Structure 1
């Protein structure tokens, strides 16, 4: 017989998921007076940044203008002050203007410290196992961990699971992947290498700039950049596939230098036609990802300049999932909203990251940029709002957006801004009683006062 433990305390807010968006939700709510519990499946915060080897953070900027600030920028400055990040540096792939390398271990420490200072309660190694709901209200969630199965209550809940797990348990309408066929973007197993000769890489790119078309032959970028980022080696990659050295359904190599000179994150594996919300499927993806990492490492050492003496630091502890479920919320953000830079009266964040879709079926990556690096778009509060419940918000990559729009707003800096807005909104909802009808002007005013960048 299943024994469910009743936890006596009622929180103002429970945040399910300690990824970057969930963590910042908890921080911002606590700073606005809420008593918060954050529930995280790993033994640390940060989500994909710390559990999947994802990096760098891309991007806080639109050209030279920084359009994402707030707690996300506070984290960057804390990392920088401790030597865990160089801050915002030029992107030598020329995909965006600035990116932000960081130390994975430093990120864990900084987030632990910030969440402790905010007096949030944390349950690590804990999973959301179910939800008790009635009418328009989430009553409690069931948390599975070493204590057993425990019921926790709160006035407000934030689903920051990445996969809309709470929303799905509550039967909130969700869609999966691409609208036409439910296909999801590929997963990626990142790999971190050290002892890469960045000087040799830099010299090779300088002498063979035609192999790196995104440089636009602007070699000066290579000389001025603090860290190196590359996408290219298309011919070498194609030859490796022809000879049977690589089985990765991709067409090029993408890698980024971390805050440690000579240490690179390799973001190149591609696991297609697997699901982040199917336990068997995602388990298979982990196997495939590690196999692809081994192939890729051997290929890099043999064929790519600068990698001859490289050694593996780690493969991602967990595979990286770009997208799975999206809630069907009060408003659904579209590609047209992003590209036309639609203005919203209930704007709570801005971003300049392009639409970035890795082919769900194989080779190819579709990137749709705005006309200029200086352009940025607005994100409305209502993509986090669940119509069916008065005390549930959603943040992170599973907000209400089309497949194309989600491909633009899924990256870390944007999710820091969404997380801060969700946390402040949750604190207001504790006071007013309904996440669907909070005072948007008050939310915007508080966000601006607390460091967020919003154009009203």
Structure 2
């Protein structure tokens, strides 16, 4: 009888006590459920079909795609080069299926279908990293705990624990959490900028800012013309799937007294609006996702659930917002009547017909709250550095595997340009504008008046060197590796590039390219028992060939 009671009690403890542990053994663990993580997991599973791959999704929803789906950023940031899309591979397949302006749930299903074809790939939803085991410069395992969003809107720990052992780990996260806990050398935000372009307080205080974040939100009531066209300052576009995209509003943003008055009034609260990108939530939908609200002083590393623990960042800017605080405050701010009044100024009239946001309404949920992205649109957090943390005067062009100069001055082929040394170990191409979305509200008026984009004013040296990149940049394999951690690959925000190079590489198509390469490299490592940090020419050529087989583009 006593033995029966003992077993019943043991079962009760196992089921109910939060600290009960579940162990698993994998070959490859991918941390991060965004496009980079999904691409990495997919390619790892495809390239090593007899090895076990686990994708950990550290978001409070059971869905794949991260910012590109549950985050509401459904306006794919592509830039054609010679009329061609250079970011191919996984992103190219998903893009062909979903279009440039897509249903977020549709892309969730597209990615899920792609990944589900590999029986060796499993997904662990809504678990985040609490700590890791490491020894001898190698990660041995991760300790994970379940998360959920509570009634207040903050992401909290809940019952459920996992310990996962593996050979190779991939950090595809937006906050660089795995890299940070592993002790990777990292810089924060624009820490590597030349000092003369930093505000005095950042030069002297030892802390620096990260780019402004955004909370995506849904509206309805947007009016479009019957056919795609440019009307005044607005461009109304339709993709191959029949879904609308809308971009513009610079003149309205800079001159309309309601809009400028809004920005003047609310900048002290850490909010501004910028010119708008908007995309229909799939062809035929009356709902659109909107990208316009800038949220300042958000530390992408800082989460409420980490407060009073060693996982909370030690050096933060005064008055910083956690990701949870920013999400809650931004969602509530959308209900401010001034916000909707301001949004409705973004409209245009042609032949007596009004188009744009003049009759826009927020989409509300059953509780009367705005429908928003499940995660913040974090634009910048940490950057993987090669060498010492201390920055020389030109640190952004010395201590990173992809430098500011390489991205801006990338050549047209392997023989020319600032990126030509990356050609031998290239694992893909990165291409977009060097797009900074402001660090401070006053950046919007850096020139003396409201002027967008702000990049040329914050970095006049960049403008003097020619401005936007003319060509894609070769992405070298070494940017995925971490000094001092031999079994970690990083295609996420903590990848090895300078802050200003990140302004180009941060968009989702480029991150998916990095994810593809990290997945293939991880597969090579487990198939041959190698350390990915020590790959040389034979291993990198193997990775390159496998990437080509999977549809990647490596050449200009």
Q: Tell me, yes or no, if structure 1 residue 57 matches structure 2 residue 57.
A: no
Which sections of structure 1, spanning at least 5 residues, go unmatched? 80-86, 88-99, 216-220
**What TM-score, normalized to structure 1?**
0.85
Whole-Å Cα distance in 2 between the matches of residues 50 and 112 of structure 1? 12
Aligned position for 2:199 = none
Aligned position for 2:459 = none
Alignment of 1:65-144 (within 5 A): 65-79=84-98, 87=99, 100-119=100-119, 120-144=121-145
Given the superposition, is the C-alpha separation of residues 4 and 382 from structure 1 closer, same or farther in structure 2, using an over 3 Å criterion? farther
- Quote how far apart the aligned CAs of 1:58 are: 1.1
Q: Tell me, yes or no, if structure 1 residue 317 matches structure 2 residue 339.
A: no
Given the superposition, is the C-alpha separation of residues 121 and 291 from structure 1 closer, same or farther in structure 2, using an over 3 Å criterion? same
Alignment of 1:353-364 (within 5 A): 353-362=432-441, 363-364=443-444
Structure 2 contact 211–438 (Cα < 8 Å) conserved: yes
Q: Of the candidates 303, 315, 319, which is equivalent to residue 279 of structure 1?
A: 303
Given the superposition, is the C-alpha separation of residues 66 and 255 from structure 1 closer, same or farther in structure 2, using an over 3 Å criterion? closer
Aligned position for 2:471 = 375
Aligned position for 2:409 = 340
Given the superposition, is the C-alpha separation of residues 3 and 223 from structure 1 closer, same or farther in structure 2, using an over 3 Å criterion? closer
* Pairwise CA RMSD: 2.9
Aligned position for 1:41 = 58
Whole-Å Cα distance in 2 between the matches of residues 383 and 15 of structure 1? 17
Aligned position for 1:267 = 291
- Quote how far apart the aligned CAs of 1:429 are: 1.0
Whole-Å Cα distance in 1 between the matches of residues 132 and 141 of structure 2? 6
SS in 1 for 2:266: coil
Given the superposition, is the C-alpha separation of residues 156 and 286 from structure 1 closer, same or farther in structure 2, using an over 3 Å criterion? same
Structure 1 contact 61–68 (Cα < 8 Å) conserved: no
Structure 1 contact 289–319 (Cα < 8 Å) conserved: no
Whole-Å Cα distance in 2 between the matches of residues 406 and 303 of structure 1? 30
- For residues 416-449 of structure 1, what are the alpha-carbon distances to aligned partners after superposition, in whole Å with 9 as ceiling and x for unaligned? 1110000000001112320112311111111112
Whole-Å Cα distance in 2 between the matches of residues 136 and 44 of structure 1? 33
Aligned position for 1:92 = none
Whole-Å Cα distance in 1 between the matches of residues 283 and 266 of structure 2? 30
Structure 1 contact 238–251 (Cα < 8 Å) conserved: no
Given the superposition, is the C-alpha separation of residues 4 and 237 from structure 1 closer, same or farther in structure 2, using an over 3 Å criterion? farther
**What TM-score, normalized to structure 2?**
0.70
Aligned position for 1:149 = 161
- Quote how far apart the aligned CAs of 1:247 are: 2.4
Aligned position for 2:429 = 350
Q: Tell me, yes or no, if structure 1 residue 304 matches structure 2 residue 347.
A: yes
Whole-Å Cα distance in 2 between the matches of residues 244 and 168 of structure 1? 35
Whole-Å Cα distance in 2 between the matches of residues 244 and 69 of structure 1? 38
Given the superposition, is the C-alpha separation of residues 235 and 136 from structure 1 closer, same or farther in structure 2, using an over 3 Å criterion? closer
Structure 2 contact 87–509 (Cα < 8 Å) conserved: yes
Aligned position for 2:220 = 194
Structure 1 contact 5–148 (Cα < 8 Å) conserved: yes
Structure 2 contact 176–492 (Cα < 8 Å) conserved: no
SS in 2 for 1:185: coil
Aligned length: 425
Structure 1 contact 395–419 (Cα < 8 Å) conserved: yes
Aligned position for 1:184 = 210
Most deviating of 60-69 and 49-58: 60-69
- For residues 284-322 of structure 1, what are the alpha-carbon distances to aligned partners after superposition, in whole Å with 9 as ceiling and x for unaligned? 212332244334333223663533433323222222110
SS in 1 for 2:486: coil
- For residues 27-71 of structure 1, what are the alpha-carbon distances to aligned partners after superposition, in whole Å with 9 as ceiling and x for unaligned? 000001131011112311101012221121111632402211111
Q: Tell me, yes or no, if structure 1 residue 17 matches structure 2 residue 32.
A: yes
- Quote how far apart the aligned CAs of 1:13 are: 0.2
Structure 2 contact 259–345 (Cα < 8 Å) conserved: no
SS in 1 for 2:29: strand
- Quote how far apart the aligned CAs of 1:229 are: 2.3
Whole-Å Cα distance in 2 between the matches of residues 425 and 28 of structure 1? 9
Aligned position for 1:169 = 181
Given the superposition, is the C-alpha separation of residues 425 and 372 from structure 1 closer, same or farther in structure 2, using an over 3 Å criterion? same
Most deviating of 296-305 and 278-287: 296-305
Whole-Å Cα distance in 1 between the matches of residues 494 and 473 of structure 2? 19
- Quote how far apart the aligned CAs of 1:271 are: 1.0
Structure 2 contact 215–327 (Cα < 8 Å) conserved: yes
Whole-Å Cα distance in 2 between the matches of residues 114 and 143 of structure 1? 26
Larger Rg: 2
Which sections of structure 2, spanning at least 5 residues, go unmatched? 1-16, 147-157, 194-201, 203-207, 305-321, 349-355, 364-370, 388-399, 411-418, 445-453, 457-461
Whole-Å Cα distance in 2 between the matches of residues 147 and 252 of structure 1? 40
Structure 1 contact 172–388 (Cα < 8 Å) conserved: yes
Given the superposition, is the C-alpha separation of residues 237 and 325 from structure 1 closer, same or farther in structure 2, using an over 3 Å criterion? farther
Whole-Å Cα distance in 2 between the matches of residues 166 and 228 of structure 1? 35
Structure 2 contact 273–292 (Cα < 8 Å) conserved: no
- For residues 311-370 of structure 1, what are the alpha-carbon distances to aligned partners after superposition, in whole Å with 9 as ceiling and x for unaligned? 323222222110112222484311101011112121111122011111111143316797
- Quote how far apart the aligned CAs of 1:276 are: 1.3
- Quote how far apart the aligned CAs of 1:190 are: 1.3
- For residues 360-403 of structure 1, what are the alpha-carbon distances to aligned partners after superposition, in whole Å with 9 as ceiling and x for unaligned? 11143316797788622111111110121221111122211111
Aligned position for 1:389 = 485
